[in-house]
Amino acid sequence: MLDLDRLRVCFGGLAALEGVTLSVHEGEILGLIGPNGAGKTTLFNAISGLVRADDGKVRLHGKDITRMPMHQRARSGIGRTFQAPQPLHGLSVRENLVVAQRFGAGELDGARLEAILRMTGLAARAEADAASGLALAELKALEVAKALATNPRLLLLDEVLAGLETAGRQRFITMLQGLHRQFGVAIIIIEHDIAAIRTLCPRIAVLDSGRLIAQGPPDLVLREPAVIACYTGTGGAIHG
Amino acid sequence: MTELLLQALYSGLLQGGAYALIALGLALVFGTMKIINLAHGELVLMAAYVAYAAESALGWHPLAAIVLALPATGLTAAGMHWTVSRIRADREINSLLLTFGFAVVLTNGFLMLWSADVHSTSSAWLQDALVLGPLYSMHSEALSFAISLALLAGLWWWLARSWHGRALRAVAANRDCAMLMGIAPGRTELLSFVLAGALAAFAGVALYCHGVIQPALGGALTVKAFIITVLAGLGSIPGVLAAAILLGICEALTVTLASSALQELTGMVLFLVVLFVLPNGLFGTARRRG
Amino acid sequence: MALRNHSGVIASLAALAALLLAWGGNPYIMSITIAALMTGGVALAWALLGNLGGMVSFGHAAFVGAGAYVSALCTLRLGVPVPVGIVLGALGAALSAIVMLPALRLRGPYFALAILAYAHIFRIAATEWTSVTRGAAGLSAIPALPVLPGLDAKASACLLAGLLVLGFALAYRAIRASHAGLALRAMHDSEDATRVLGVNSTLLKGLMLLVSSAMAGAIGAFNAHYIGFLEPDYAFGAMWVTLPIVAAIFGGYRTLAGPVIGALVVSLADQLLFKEWLPIGHQFLLGVLLVAMILAHPSGLLPLAGNVLRRLRPGGNGKGGGHA
pLDDT score for C321: 39
Whether pLDDT at C178 is above 80? yes
CA of A147 vs chain C CAs: smallest distance (Å)? 7
Using DSSP bridges, classify how beta strands B129-132 and B135-138 pair: parallel, antiparallel or unpaired: antiparallel
Range with top average pLDDT, A153-162, B14-23, B234-243, C212-221: C212-221
In chain C, the N- to C-terminal Cα span, in Å, equals 13
pLDDT score for A15: 85
Average pLDDT (C127-148) is 81
pLDDT bin (cut points 50, 70, 90) of residue C314 is: low
Which chains have 3 or more CB–CB distances shorter than 8 Å to chain A? B, C
Whether pLDDT at A72 is above 70? yes
Chain A contact for B279 (CB, 8 A cutoff): no
Using the beta-carbon criterion (under 8 Å), do A87 and C185 form an inter-chain contact? no
CA of A149 vs chain C CAs: smallest distance (Å)? 9
For the ranges A44-48, B128-132, C203-207, the lowest mean pLDDT is seen at B128-132
pLDDT score for C187: 86
Residue C250: what residue type? F
Which of B115, B223, B284 lies closest to C116 in CB terms? B223
Which of C102, C287, C289 lies closest to B108 in CB terms? C287
Using the beta-carbon criterion (under 8 Å), do C197 and A103 form an inter-chain contact? yes
Ranges of H-type helices in chain C: 2-23, 27-51, 61-77, 82-98, 108-128, 130-133, 153-177, 179-187, 191-195, 201-227, 232-235, 239-251, 257-268, 275-277, 282-296, 301-312
How far apart, in whole angstroms, are the C-alpha atoms of residue A103 and residue C179? 9
Using the beta-carbon criterion (under 8 Å), do B289 and A48 form an inter-chain contact? no
- Residue pair B161/B149 in contact by the 8 Å Cβ criterion: no
pLDDT score for A64: 92
Q: Dump the DSSP string for B147-171.
A: HHHHHHHHHHHHHHHSHHHHHHHHH
pLDDT bin (cut points 50, 70, 90) of residue C5 is: low
Whether pLDDT at C317 is above 50? no
Neighbouring CB atoms inside 10 A of B170's CB total: 18
DSSP state of C297: -
CA C42 to chain centre: 1
pLDDT score for B282: 40
Whether pLDDT at C40 is above 90? yes
C-alpha to C-alpha distances, C155 to C68, C149, C218, nearest whole angstrom: 21, 11, 19
Chain A contact for C177 (CB, 8 A cutoff): no
C-alpha to C-alpha distances, C177 to A5, B269, C184, C249, nearest whole angstrom: 43, 38, 11, 22
Using the beta-carbon criterion (under 8 Å), do C294 and B265 form an inter-chain contact? no
Whether pLDDT at A182 is above 70? yes
The per-type count for chain B, helices as H runs and strands as E runs, is 12, 2
How far apart, in whole angstroms, are the C-alpha atoms of residue C43 and residue C263? 7
Which of A70, A79, A147 lies closest to C195 in CB terms? A70
B94 contacts on C by Cβ (under 8 Å): 294, 298
Using the beta-carbon criterion (under 8 Å), do C198 and A74 form an inter-chain contact? yes
- What is the phi-psi region of residue C165: left when phi exceeds 0, alpha when psi lies from -120 to 50, beta otherwise? alpha
pLDDT score for B1: 75
What percent of chain A clears pLDDT 90, i.e. is strictly above it?
A: 39
Using DSSP bridges, classify how beta strands A14-24 and A2-11 pair: parallel, antiparallel or unpaired: antiparallel
| Preferred mutation among B94, B97, B287 to probe C, highest tally of C CBs within 10 A | B97
How far apart, in whole angstroms, are the C-alpha atoms of residue A179 and residue C150? 67
How far apart, in whole angstroms, are the C-alpha atoms of residue C35 and residue B78? 37
Which chains have 3 or more CB–CB distances shorter than 8 Å to chain C? A, B
| Average confidence score pLDDT of chain C | 85
Angle between helices A166-183 and A110-119 (to 10 degrees): 150
How far apart, in whole angstroms, are the C-alpha atoms of residue A91 and residue A75? 21
How far apart, in whole angstroms, are the C-alpha atoms of residue C67 and residue C84? 12
CA of B15 vs chain C CAs: smallest distance (Å)? 21
What predicted TM-score, i.e. pTM, was given to this entire model? Answer: 0.84
Q: How many CB pairs under 8 A join B and C?
A: 123
| Preferred mutation among C284, C288, C304 to probe B, highest tally of B CBs within 10 A | C284
pLDDT bin (cut points 50, 70, 90) of residue C19 is: confident
Range with top average pLDDT, A148-157, B257-266, C23-32: A148-157
In chain B, the N- to C-terminal Cα span, in Å, equals 49
Which of B105, B223, B275 lies closest to C110 in CB terms? B275
pLDDT score for B284: 35
Average pLDDT (A195-212) is 90
* For chain C, domain boundaries: 2-312
Residues in chain B: 290
Topology at the third CATH level for domain C2-312: ABC transporter involved in vitamin B12 uptake, BtuC (1.10.3470)
Whether pLDDT at C284 is above 60? yes
C313 compared with B289, residue with greater pLDDT? C313
A76 contacts on C by Cβ (under 8 Å): none
How far apart, in whole angstroms, are the C-alpha atoms of residue C31 and residue C226? 10
C-alpha to C-alpha distances, B130 to B143, B241, C81, C92, nearest whole angstrom: 10, 23, 60, 50
A69 contacts on B by Cβ (under 8 Å): 289-290
C28-67 residues touching A, CB cutoff 8 A = none
Element containing residue B146 per DSSP (H, E): helix B139-161
pLDDT tens, chain B, 290 aa long = 788 888 888 888 988 988 998 888 888 888 777 788 889 999 999 999 999 988 888 888 888 888 899 999 999 999 999 998 888 777 778 888 899 999 999 999 998 888 888 888 777 777 777 777 777 788 888 888 888 889 888 888 887 777 667 777 776 677 667 777 767 777 888 888 999 999 999 999 988 888 888 888 888 888 888 888 877 776 677 788 888 998 999 999 888 888 777 787 888 888 777 777 764 434 333 333 33
| Preferred mutation among A50, A68, A72 to probe B, highest tally of B CBs within 10 A | A50
Q: Dump the DSSP string for chain A.
A: -EEEEEEEEEETTEEEEEEEEEEE-TT-EEEEE--TTSSHHHHHHHHHTSS--SEEEEEETTEE-TT--HHHHHHHTEEE--SS--PPTTSBHHHHHHHIIIIIISS--HHHHHHHHHHTT-GGGTTSBTTTS--HHHHHHHHHHHHHHT--SEEEEESTTTT--HHHHHHHHHHHHHHHHHH--EEEEE-S-HHHHHHH-SEEEEEETTEEEEEE-HHHHTT-HHHHHHHHSSS-----
Which of A48, A51, A68 lies closest to B288 in CB terms? A51
How far apart, in whole angstroms, are the C-alpha atoms of residue A17 and residue A81? 20
How far apart, in whole angstroms, are the C-alpha atoms of residue B69 and residue B186? 25
Chain A contact for B290 (CB, 8 A cutoff): yes
A70 contacts on C by Cβ (under 8 Å): 192, 195-196
Q: Please, which contacts does B132-141 make with residues 24 or more away whose CB atoms are closer than 8 Å?
A: B132/B10, B134/B3, B134/B6, B134/B7, B135/B6, B135/B7, B135/B10, B136/B7, B137/B10, B137/B11, B137/B14, B138/B210, B140/B206, B140/B209, B140/B210, B141/B11, B141/B14, B141/B15, B141/B18, B141/B210
**Of the candidates C165, C197, C191, C167, the residue with the CA atom closest to the CA atom of residue C262:** C165
B285 contacts on A by Cβ (under 8 Å): none
**Of the candidates B208, B197, B249, B200, the residue with the CA atom closest to the CA atom of residue B17:** B249
C56 contacts on B by Cβ (under 8 Å): 93, 96-97
pLDDT score for B77: 93
